[in-house]
Amino acid sequence: MRMEIDPADERAFGKLSRRLQDGFQRWAAARGLAVDPFVVGLVLDYKGRYADGHLGCWIPADLRDMLCEWFPPKATMDDETIEQTVPTVAAFIDYLASSGLLTDVSAPPDELKAALEKLAPTFRAYMADPARFGPAKSIATAMMAQGVDLTDSDAVDRFIGDFNAGRLGKPEQLLPVLESLASAPLPPVRLAPEEELRAAAGSAPLVARLGRFVAWLGEGRRLTQAGNLTVADGKELLGVLGIADVTDARVQERLARVRSAADLAEIGLVTSLATRAGLARVRRGRLVSTRRGRSLAGQPLEVWERVLEALADLGPLGVDWAGAWRPFWVEFLDSGTRDLLVALYQADEPVPLEDLAASAWEEVERVFDLGEDPRQLELWRTGVARDVERSVRRLEELGAVQCTAPAEPPGGPGGPGGGVVASDRSPETTAGEGTRVVLTPLGTWVVNRRLREGGTDAPVVGELAGAGVDTLIRRCADYDPDAATEETRAWVAARGQRAAVEIAEFARGADDPADRLLAFKTLDVVGLDAADVVRSLRDVPRLRPLAAVWLVEHGLEERSSLDPRDVGALMVDTA
């Protein structure tokens, strides 16, 4: 049975997944083992759709990523299923091994089951922590707490109706979701043309590096028993990717001490991102490129989006600390990567990096029991600030954010000489004073896309061109002046000569003085072409003051034509 698939090939995955699930259930039944088929389905979903696509290749790192990073935000389970998960995964490993389906490059079954046993307490704790739930799981968990059968669509609809009507109060599991939905309306954004986005995606440094990596793979590269590239290939790749000058004597001296490609953090980053994003996969003990990876040049925007998702899933910090001791806050900061992007999206100006670091430290203090030793607290605070900057710089490499900072000393952040071996895991970086962070057009595009896919009202300038005049005027009331003007111009261009007439009709029917004032501000965008329509509005008593002032302001009437009574009425109406 072929156990490796392209993660993009849904049909092949579905067929293989069903065969494995059926085979496992027969195997377990013959041995009298109590296993949960639902769990096995999730295991295969993780490996086939989110990981490397090789359903028969498992190492302890895969199990940790699946149980502690993927299951908690995505898998909705009752307590019984949670308790059954680790035993079921252990039995599935035995099934693969006994059926000859566990590949040679996998870790031995005993090593995998020992890793499962060590992960079990963390897995159970994470599955019970609402802070680690994704929005969909938060809602599903709240339903289960209310006794809703998630397979009963009518019951689900009733829950949603009761919740929207306020009859359920605020279930504890939904508080994080409710807090995010209750935030201020998102600002309208301008999206760059697709051609510009594609060019930016293809030229992003990290994507360009992945492109060189895929090309370097060629017909494939042999992996070690631990699933890593060979040391020789790792060293070669440092030069191919431009990470370090491998001809430099100092770099060569440090590379001489490397015993595993896993010690080269930047190599691990590229390899992990490539496999997670479906650009490469393991095949018969070799790392090979996929069809998606080879199509990078032709589909840069699509590939870029998958790489960003892979980076957010793996964590900008987690990929650096893979296989090594890591500070206790790393996973916590990594879990907030998508929240960081949304926060930057909501900001109306570049955000100081110091503010991001301070906010992250406040959250770390809130979540963890840190004690009261001032020297230890300051050490940790500095470490968090450093890692916030590392996360931001990683996103900058991908082209999702841009940092503006004071001039750096010659040689850049690494000082004179530039490049260093990527296994250095503690660069002396802190949240530099004056550095500000803002989303790039690519970052704005992808966050807007994700928000809208999730049902959030995330307006885009220009999308109201086909809307009714009432929608246009009321939506633009929340826009900044430049965005409102741009949106209205697009709407006027689409309406043509009817624009002024429709705005006037809205003004005639508006009972709220604020709506009437907004209508005349909208007529400002139409300009002198609206003159005749505005003159006709002087026949409407409550619109006469606004129409008279509008005509004077546009140079169509003398100021002396203003009736003092109209000016007084206007002042009262708009007070």
Do residues 261 and 231 touch, judged by C-beta distance below 8 A? yes
**Range of lowest pLDDT (184-193, 303-312, 490-499):** 184-193
Task: State yes or no: pLDDT of 152 exceeds 60.
Answer: yes
Place of tokens 């301008």: 190
For all residues of the chain together, what is the average pLDDT?
82
The whole-number pLDDT of residue 142 equals 61
Give this prediction's pTM. Answer: 0.62
**Phi and psi, residue 540, nearest 5°:** -95, 115
Question: Per-residue pLDDT averaged across 111-134, rounded?
Answer: 85
Give the contacts of 481 (CB within 8 A, at least 6 positions apart): none
The whole-number pLDDT of residue 565 equals 64
Question: Per-residue pLDDT averaged across 126-133, rounded?
Answer: 76
Output the six-digit token pair for 328. Answer: 């206790």
DSSP string of 426-451, one letter each residue: -------TT-EEEE-HHHHHHHHHHH
Sheet strand arrangement including 280-283: 221-222, 286-289, 280-283
**pLDDT tens profile 58-67:** 998 889 989 9
**pLDDT tens profile 530-541:** 999 999 999 998
How far is residue 460's CA from residue 451's CA, in Å, rounded to a whole number?
12
Question: Per-residue pLDDT averaged across 314-327, rounded?
Answer: 70
The whole-number pLDDT of residue 416 equals 33
Amino acid symbol at 557: E
DSSP-derived 3-state class of residue 424: coil
pLDDT confidence band for 203 (50 / 70 / 90): very high
Number of neighbours of residue 84 by Cβ within 10 angstroms: 17
Q: Is the dihedral of CA 126, 132, 141, 174 positive or negative?
A: positive
CA–CA distances in Å: residue 168 to residues 17, 174, 177, 224, 457: 39, 11, 15, 55, 24
Do residues 54 and 4 touch, judged by C-beta distance below 8 A? yes
**Range of lowest pLDDT (233-237, 275-279, 390-394):** 233-237
The whole-number pLDDT of residue 401 equals 96
Task: State yes or no: pLDDT of 137 exceeds 80.
Answer: no
The whole-number pLDDT of residue 352 equals 93
The whole-number pLDDT of residue 205 equals 94
The whole-number pLDDT of residue 307 equals 94
DSSP-derived 3-state class of residue 403: strand
Question: Per-residue pLDDT averaged across 160-182, rounded?
Answer: 47
Residue spans of beta strands (DSSP E) within 102-254 = 221-222
**pLDDT tens profile 245-256:** 767 778 777 777
The whole-number pLDDT of residue 323 equals 52
**Range of lowest pLDDT (54-58, 363-367, 392-396, 454-458):** 454-458
Task: State yes or no: pLDDT of 464 exceeds 70.
Answer: yes
